[in-house]
Structure 1
């Protein structure tokens, strides 16, 4: 090799042939790394790795890494960085770059902080993302916490750990222990600024995750946040702690985005209680006052309450979480009332429970049920049938009886007695309904917006129906000022 082709100090190679000769004859992986770095900086790398040259270069890197010259571990870590660098520029040919990568690692590599700079750490992380080893999740989570300011590397490491874990829940469970390594940082301010960088990057990774959520994801996230924030916060800045909380809340919202059913489960939000405990009541009030994402979580909780209420369900656990999300139960009550304002179809008893912060006692609810809802429904149905038969019975007595008195006097007498007995039954039904505070809804013949919770569609529920006509009236009852529909009006599509 001629000296005019290679300037060893700067590793500037003037021809591709000379570059390849240098790489194949090099005895030190650091020299190869320096050469590739310089060629990339000059945007000459594509000519070097063209066609079969890429495999030749990667084989040379692997051979140097596996020489076993006493710097074996350092060389293997550096080789990961070199191969990662090549994969970054060999778009679509990553499989060629990483073909022999598994040969490097029977056990976890040295800490990624051993590398020279952020770029090398990033490229090494790219290599680790191509591995399927059993240690990859633990190694990547630990290195993502240990690295200080190499944010690109941290992002790749966390994404690799999450992909390896298979779900958000499993990742948060498996990575909690990694925060123990931060205890060596004595300054609260320095420690929590590092944690903020970690939580911010993790939030970015979770935001683009489209895989599985996993079981009990809310509980796993809560434990992850608790492990991250359990150290002293005496000298930590409030703004830094607020950012950390907002990142955690954003990840909570991502769980709901990916699987909305989790929004209806109180354990999804347990992170609020864990964070409150970790921060302490005084600091917690200050942090949530400046939070940007807490209102979004509150809205998700109110929507969950609304869905449950529309299903005629109450949920004490969800109500307790709502109280945690707000400062007090007193603040929850007007918030729920405002959120339920347009939901007119909710049963009055269920609405009252939610709007009163779940403070209706069981004895109060049992007292209401002792008023006889099922019996009242039967009385209401009887009243409807009696009223619908009224016109027929009146015509029978007024028009049919006179003919029967001429043609069949005994039958006429029987019909008279039946009509009289009907009048007695009708009177008794009306009196009983009055005693039970039942009354007609006076909707027969009306055109209304269809609401499956308030109307009974003849022939069964039909999708797409908006306007309906009431064919049979309904019955409602006054429960101490709360009106509840006991017998739904029967309706047909208005079209």
Structure 2
């Protein structure tokens, strides 16, 4: 048949299925380019649009088939894809039926790709829902997940939204079949996230943990351990990708919440197999050990990171040898901090008695004086305002003495501020802030404590610029934040 005969047969087709059969045959014998050359492309598109819109119902299978046909046509039309998809919105006027209703994997994939060219609000949720409801077309599933992730803009938001769509796993009654589909879903997500390089969003670790929990909630003790291990490994792979995109997340215990979800959801035997067979868990362990080493080099300790290491290694007894090997070449670590990590956090506080030294230099003394003066200023103002009037009535000589003391304090305060300005001393302006604890920069009330990450500043410090670098002369006083006040 020549080109015109083929076009005539397309225009005479009774259904989208017939058109697809003709186009598939043309692709197979490599005659498709002549069929869609010049104005022929528009003729084929018009046939597809007409057949796809015969039924006004948005849920008509023919509408979704027409979208898939346009996707198939766009794949071979090269630079003319915009012409192919120009009228797609006439076909998909609202949410179509489930992609799983289409005949084969290729058709499902083309339909999923066509959705990229629809800007309607329903596309995002539809893509996530169909990525769960689709059974075995993995190309379609990846295309749907990729579409949802692009529309979402961040990993955190996409994981959180996907957690809601995972409830459709419950439509698969057999638990083994359900979790095998869940494994296909997790693998598709892992493959898509592997190529993601844009925004992570806020609380990425929490969102990923919720996503894994939403999947594992559909499991049961009878499910094969291999299936569960693969699902958890896919979640670990996404955590690793998140850390690759933003390495700072490796130092945050909240990033590893997916590890806690996995540990708490799997049975002891399943977790033992995961420790033995997992591809990604060794990399998670390395990230945690490296996070511990970075914190130790900053003279910091973190109970949360240590607890996560214990979960990753199954027990604290296995963590200590692993940390010793990882810390072995780091000779520069503070001995007390290193001991805390290598003893599994047993040492909760140092034996050192806290002393708030003024310091040996003049600048430190002036800074300490300024802090003391400003701390006492409120008390002296209350004394002048509330006590003196009472004493003027009951004891005038004592009132005169208190007035002189108050005036003397005001003069001393003024001189202290003048000295501070002359020496270019400034406040750290951290009072009331919650900061990461660093013994070199902060003075802990009650003595130095190990395992503390965040503290609250209760008294400001004094700093000075030396050659372009800011040096703390008087450390801010800090206190541990209680769990109730976090």
- On whether the aligned pair clears a TM of 0.5, the verdict is yes
SS at match of 1:301: helix
Count of equivalent residues: 366
Pair member with larger Rg = 1
Once the two structures are TM-superposed, the CA of residue 98 in structure 1 deviates from its matched residue by: 1.0
TM-superposed CA distance for 1:188, in Å, is 2.6
| 2:352 alignment partner, one of 364, 368, 372 | 368
Q: Which residue among 125, 129, 137 is the counterpart of 2:116?
A: 129
The residue matched to 1:257 in structure 2 has which SS? Answer: helix
What residue in structure 2 maps to residue 333 of structure 1? 320
User: Does the 8 A contact of 1:66 with 1:72 survive in 2?
Assistant: no
TM-score by length of 1: 0.69
C-alpha contact (below 8 Å) 2:169/2:218 kept by paired residues: no
Instruction: Say if 1:253 and 1:297, in contact at 8 Å, map to a contact too.
Output: yes
- Structure 1, unmatched stretches of 5+, are 1-13, 379-457, 462-495
Pairwise CA distance, 1:72 = 6.7
Give RMSD over aligned pairs. 2.3
Q: What residue number does 2:77 align with?
A: 90
Indicate conservation of the 8 Å contact 2:113/2:143, yes or no.
Answer: yes
Partner of 2:4: 17
Is 1:45 matched with 2:32?
yes
Determine helix, strand or coil for the equivalent of 1:162: helix
- Aligned residue number for residue 238 of structure 1: 225
In the superposition, relative to structure 1, how do residues 30 and 71 fare at CA in structure 2: closer, same or farther (>3 Å)? farther
Q: What residue in structure 2 maps to residue 34 of structure 1? A: 21
Cα 1:131–1:288 change in 2 (3 A) is farther
2:205 is equivalent to residue 221 of structure 1: no
Partner of 2:314, secondary structure, is coil
Question: After the TM superposition, which of the residue ranges 322-331 and 268-277 deviates more from structure 2?
Answer: 322-331
Q: Is structure 2 residue 303 aligned with structure 1 residue 298?
A: no
* Distance in 2, Cα, partners of 1:116 & 1:239: 30
1:351-391 superposed Cα distances (whole Å, 9 cap, x missing partner): 122222222113xx2x3243x5958998xxxxxxxxxxxxx
| Structure 1 residue 81 displacement after superposition | 0.9
Residues 1:270 and 1:19: Cα distance change in structure 2 (over 3 Å): same
In structure 2, the gaps of 5 or more residues are: 362-465, 470-486
Matches within 5 A, 1:96-245: 96-245=83-232
Q: Report the Cα distance in structure 2 between the residues aligned to 1:39 and 1:54, rounded to whole angstroms.
A: 14
User: In structure 1, how many angstroms separate the alpha carbons of the residues matched to 2:316 and 2:360?
Assistant: 35
Does the Cα contact within 8 Å between 1:188 and 1:234 map onto a contact in 2?
no
CA contact (8 A) 1:222 1:274 kept: yes
Give 3-state SS (helix, strand or coil) of 1:31's partner. helix
Helix, strand or coil for the counterpart of 1:129? helix
Q: Which residue does the alignment assign to 2:261? A: 274
Partner secondary structure for residue 79 of structure 2: coil
For 2:48, the equivalent position in structure 1 comes to 61
| Contact 1:242–1:288, Cα closer than 8 Å, also in 2 | no
> How big is the shift at 1:155?
1.2
> Post-superposition shift, 1:79?
0.6
Q: Is the 8 A contact 2:109 2:139 kept in 1?
A: yes
Does the Cα contact within 8 Å between 2:156 and 2:201 map onto a contact in 1? Answer: yes
Rounded to whole Å, the distance in 1 between the matches of 2:467 and 2:330 is 26
Structure 1 residue 459, shift from structure 2 partner: 6.8
Asked if 1:307 corresponds to 2:307, the answer is no
Range that drifts further, 146-155 or 52-61:
52-61
Whole-Å Cα distance in 2 between the matches of residues 184 and 71 of structure 1? Answer: 23
Distance 2:209 2:268 in 1: 17
Which deviations, in whole Å up to 9, do the C-alpha atoms of 1:318-369 show, x marking residues without a partner? 222222211112222221121111122222222122222222113xx2x324
TM-score (norm 2): 0.71
**Equivalent in 263, 269, 272 of residue 285 of structure 1:** 272
SS in 1 for 2:78: coil
